[in-house]
Structure 1
Amino acid sequence: MTDQTPLRSGGRAARRAARSQPLAAHLRPVRPGMEGGQYKPLSQADMQAIHNAALEALETIGLADAPPSGVAYLTGAGAVEGADGRIRFPRALVEDTLAKANRSITLCARDPVHDLELSGNRVHYGTAGAAVHLVDVATNSYRECGLQDLHDAARITDVLDNIHFLQRPMVCRDITDNYEMDMNTVYGCCSGTMKHIGTSFTDPSYVKGALEMLHLIAGSEDKWRARPFMSNSNCFVVPPMKFATESCQVMEACIEGGMPVLLLSAGMAGATAPSTIAGAITQAVAECLAGLVYVNAVKPGHPAIFGTWPFGLDLRSGAMTGGSGEQALLTAGCAQMHGFYALPGGAAGGIADAKMPDMQAGWEQMCSNVMAGLSGCNMIYEAAGMHASLLGFCHESLILGDDIIGQALRCVRGIEVNEETLALDQMRAVCLDGPGHYLGTEQTLSRMEVDHVYPSLGNRSSPKEWDELGKPELVANATLRKEAILAERSRARFDPIVDKAIRERFNIYLSV
């Protein structure tokens, strides 16, 4: 573990003054990119068995429905097109691809302080999804979400310390034209946050327009290609074991445009993937290995995230169970497979099946977020704000998720053991010469911020204090925080000249 020894000195007054200021990045108790990997539900033999099964599936079953361009790329790389139209992948081809794949990716942000280093077991949490409803906590109801809701989510994400990236969490249901919806999604996200952004595109032809906008935002095509601050979330497969033809063409266009790609395989265990946890992971691994071959056939070494996203299913009803223990295990097992290949990887965590930010949502979001972090997943998507098994997104829940993820990250950080933290000198001083307790000691005060994560909204007061404070309610306080954030102007807003150029080229629905 990294030594968290504080670098502060001076008396109590100096410490109080220092505590009133933001901590230096290296002193924060939790931060982006902390090393996970402590939790390992799969043994080495288990991972090898999953790998072997995935290779056999690719070699003997293969994937159907590749577009003509994909067939050309894949067969040119060494894959085999069978008489049944399925593309099969010889073991040697997959192993060669793994040997040359990009193993260390930097997902850039418009503000470099938010760049994400994806390698090893570095852990990052963020949003994702395609929710069609916004959760309205004031009326305890759902309504269709729109562009303003998406833009507000981006603005909220921008100020939350423990939400490290924004992948589009909802679709703009108020824009009926698909091209305009995709362009406004890019605009709404980029004008809301300086953090890394992920999005998807409805049609391959739309990528060109999106890249034109991104070049304007970056300042030029060269500046965009040097620091691409948006990635393409690409559902390149339709499980089980079929390519999604148009999505593959989108992927090819994004690779050509210099955009990192998330290879997203989202099978439903028991429906479009095997019902067993091991089987669902195996299929997801096989599909993502096929995607990795595809990406590297188009452009060797192109940044691609190994996005195994199998989802749980309630087999009694056929409903998705994103908040289940099975989902947490699926995600943790997938994270281990990313580590097995030493590839940058992502999976889903933090999803609530609960319809509102209540106790059920809390336990569901915490369970998979902690397990995903402990397993060392590089990119934990859908980690905050998602309700109703991905059908609803909630701004208040996004804010509360910042507290949840803070505690999850503290678990990821683990326990540092060194001469200072063993605290023998403190024990000796307190027990032999001191007051018999550690409250107010130099060591306790000097480490109170670097060792402990304090919730922003979670209430730790006594019942008496809580009553005296007017019995504050968690969700109501989250609403107040949301309103305060949205009352400020977005720091990600574009320069007026850039904004004018974008609006002249595209039909932007957000008001200036």
Structure 2
Amino acid sequence: MAGGQYNPLSETAVNRIHQAALAALSEIGLANAPASGIAAMTAVGAIMGTDGRIRFPAALIEDTIARANRSVTLCGRDPRHDLELSGSRVHYGTAGAAVHMVDVHTREYRESTVQDLHDAARIADQLDNIHFVQRPMVCRDIPDNREMDLNTVYACCAGTTKHVGTSFTEAAFARDAIEMLHVMAGGEDAWRARPFVSNSNCFVVPPMKFATESCEVMETCIRGGMPILLLSAGQAGATAPASIAGAIVQAVAECLAGLVYVNAIAPGHPAIFGTWPFVSDLRTGAMSGGSGEQALLTAGCAQMHRFYALPGGAAAGIADSKLPDMQAGWEQMCSNVMAGLSGLNMVYEAAGMHASLLGFCHESLILGDDLIGQALRCLKGIEVSEDSVSLDVIRATCLDGPGHYLGSDQTLALMQTDYVYPTLGDRTSPKEWIERDRPDLLTRATEMKERILSSRSAARFDALTDAEIRKRFAIHLPQ
């Protein structure tokens, strides 16, 4: 569904941010690029300074933007889940690196496991308004980083046939994962034709420094045919300027540098412009993902993506609240709606995230699907046409009809096209609510979770493929 109705930045402001980003790249540049990256970027026109910082002339940036891939398709294992990233088309999904699971009934936090991750993918697979599954939590029960990276890929792909996003600790682990993906896809050619996993890559350490190991991972993934999310995640007031405009400038500058990097290695490679600046609560310095400022940051970044006509993603839907309560509801809805209305192609972390990304909750993921359904209805907007202004319907109802619209043909038709109904949200009267034994939202979400998880994932691999994967890699999930 297309957004883009909301523009928090004026045309003058957009151009000022763009010019500031160009100045930051040409005058300040980025430090700590790996030797391979320096070689690739200087070969296309970047300038390596004697101070160890690589700078980017404005002409190089403009040329890269013009040549970059402007429409990216993120494939699902099932083609019906393919995502077209172009213009202001909006998709919502999970993301993050939570280290805890939220138990809504005991109100406790515990370390997340590979089984929790697999279950999250299985649940997301069944939710209509969750369009992709980027790894939302860390497998804390797998201490070996290589095994954790490989099991993250396996747990997600065995749980959903939607597009999956993940990260890798080292380049060697990314190579191993790509080998595993060849097995899942049925061969390298099949994988390269339809890569159903993308690399979420924190290629920078804000402010304005490349992350050497992540850049090496990125190069490996590019050569392996994997789409790249160029993720710049500065924190306003800490690792990015405290002003919302300044945080956007830095994120845009860092991602433009990343775009040069990607296209220097493989021109036109599918890359997502991942400006993910976060907000600090300046009273404490702690991250505040559920704030109005976060919603504005994300919406402003989405507008810059549209200015460049580049596929982009950013974070929304994060709750600072520790539980799926009223605070979580207002925090998640505010940024999710603004992200969608601003035309953000990929709305990451849109459901399930609590405690400023430290906790993930299966029930909250399910409730988030309802919430995002309402956000998508806001995106659809108001149709104004000869039929929808309803003058003939008003005339017939008031002059010749019953004086109400409950049974009109228009009402019955629009029930299924213009109105969205929550799956779990309760709209009954107090009397009916009591008659139904006072249904509780979290209890209903838990019941739905248990119903989904009571049967084996439909995304599981066939026996021969699974056996081949398990023979070559240490898979921790039970068969």
Which category describes the TM-score, using the shorter chain as reference length? over 0.9
Structure 1 CA distance for aligned equivalents of residues 105 and 154 of structure 2: 28
Please name the residue that 2:55 is paired with.
Answer: 88
Asked if residue 508 in structure 1 is aligned to residue 470 in structure 2, the reply is no
Residue 500 of structure 1: how far off its partner (Å): 0.4
Q: Of 370, 374, 378, which aligns to 1:403?
A: 370
Matches within 5 A, 1:113-512: 113-512=80-479
Identity of aligned residues (%): 74
Please name the residue that 1:16 is paired with.
Answer: none
SS in 1 for 2:378: helix
Structure 2 CA distance for aligned equivalents of residues 74 and 208 of structure 1: 23
Structure 2 CA distance for aligned equivalents of residues 195 and 232 of structure 1: 15
Letter in 2 for 1:148: Q
Matches within 5 A, 1:30-69: 34-69=1-36
Structure 1 CA distance for aligned equivalents of residues 119 and 379 of structure 2: 29
- TM-score (normalised: structure 1): 0.93
Unaligned runs of 5+ in 1: 1-33
SS in 2 for 1:135: strand
Structure 2 CA distance for aligned equivalents of residues 492 and 421 of structure 1: 42
Listed one character per residue, the Cα deviations across residues 239-258 of structure 1 (whole Å, up to 9, x for unaligned) are 00000000000000000000
Structure 2 CA distance for aligned equivalents of residues 446 and 273 of structure 1: 50
Residue 138 of structure 1: how far off its partner (Å): 1.6
Letter in 1 for 2:13: D
Structure 1 CA distance for aligned equivalents of residues 455 and 9 of structure 2: 46
Please name the residue that 1:105 is paired with.
Answer: 72
Residue 443 of structure 1: how far off its partner (Å): 1.3
Please name the residue that 1:25 is paired with.
Answer: none
Residue 65 of structure 1: how far off its partner (Å): 0.2
Structure 1 CA distance for aligned equivalents of residues 452 and 385 of structure 2: 40
Structure 1 CA distance for aligned equivalents of residues 426 and 296 of structure 2: 30
Asked if residue 74 in structure 1 is aligned to residue 41 in structure 2, the reply is yes
Letter in 1 for 2:299: A
Residue 422 of structure 1: how far off its partner (Å): 1.3
Letter in 2 for 1:144: E
Residue 139 of structure 1: how far off its partner (Å): 0.6
Listed one character per residue, the Cα deviations across residues 31-56 of structure 1 (whole Å, up to 9, x for unaligned) are xxx11000001011100000000000
SS in 2 for 1:509: coil
Residue 476 of structure 1: how far off its partner (Å): 0.9
Structure 2 CA distance for aligned equivalents of residues 395 and 309 of structure 1: 24
Letter in 1 for 2:98: A
SS in 1 for 2:387: helix
Moved more, 302-311 or 488-497: 488-497
Structure 1 CA distance for aligned equivalents of residues 388 and 73 of structure 2: 33
Aligned residues: CA RMSD: 0.5
Structure 2 CA distance for aligned equivalents of residues 138 and 230 of structure 1: 34
Structure 1 CA distance for aligned equivalents of residues 463 and 295 of structure 2: 45
Structure 2 CA distance for aligned equivalents of residues 367 and 409 of structure 1: 13
Residue 154 of structure 1: how far off its partner (Å): 0.1
Listed one character per residue, the Cα deviations across residues 373-397 of structure 1 (whole Å, up to 9, x for unaligned) are 0000000000000000000000000
Structure 2 CA distance for aligned equivalents of residues 433 and 503 of structure 1: 72
- TM-score (normalised: structure 2): 1.00
Structure 2 CA distance for aligned equivalents of residues 266 and 439 of structure 1: 50
Letter in 2 for 1:328: A
Residue 121 of structure 1: how far off its partner (Å): 0.3
Listed one character per residue, the Cα deviations across residues 248-302 of structure 1 (whole Å, up to 9, x for unaligned) are 0000000000000000000000000000000000000000000000000000000
Structure 2 CA distance for aligned equivalents of residues 369 and 67 of structure 1: 36
Unaligned runs of 5+ in 2: none
Residue 449 of structure 1: how far off its partner (Å): 1.3
Structure 2 CA distance for aligned equivalents of residues 124 and 136 of structure 1: 28
Letter in 2 for 1:388: A
Listed one character per residue, the Cα deviations across residues 8-66 of structure 1 (whole Å, up to 9, x for unaligned) are xxxxxxxxxxxxxxxxxxxxxxxxxx110000010111000000000000000000000
Residue 400 of structure 1: how far off its partner (Å): 0.2
Structure 1 CA distance for aligned equivalents of residues 139 and 456 of structure 2: 22
Letter in 2 for 1:455: P
Letter in 2 for 1:287: E
Structure 1 CA distance for aligned equivalents of residues 389 and 189 of structure 2: 52
Structure 2 CA distance for aligned equivalents of residues 207 and 129 of structure 1: 18
